[in-house]
Amino acid sequence: QVTLVESGGGLVQPGGRLRLSCVISSGAAEIYYMAWYRQAPGKSRELVANTMTHDGAEPPSYAGFVNGRFTMSRDSAKTTYFLQMNSLQPEDTAVYYCYSQYVGGVAWGQGTQVTVSS
């Protein structure tokens, strides 16, 4: 009952930047948690950033490897979540996924490829 669609991935050079988007179609479902994950080939999916969605919630949290380079945000209607990624490095290469928890279940997006290479 919740559909997530990511976009914005691509090929960038080390030190470059990308902004990922996650568009939400929720119908009547109430979403209370959003997160960004990533997964490199042959490795486990790992958490990148996450946040509660209610007004007045704490700011998003980030994995240690982010080191201040990424920012999670949303539009005013809460229909799209973003991940601004700066100072990208080759080790950031992965498929990035949007994830939600809502009353009644969880949902994953299809993923968007980020490749950092010279």
pLDDT, averaged per 10 consecutive residues of the chain (118 residues), comes to 96 98 94 98 97 95 98 96 98 98 96 97
Q: Which of 105, 89, 104 is nearest to 38 (CA)?
A: 89
Residue 49: per-residue pLDDT: 98
> What pairs with residue 89 in β-bridges?
none
Instruction: Determine contact, residues 38/96, Cβ cutoff 8 Å.
Output: yes
Residue 28: per-residue pLDDT: 86
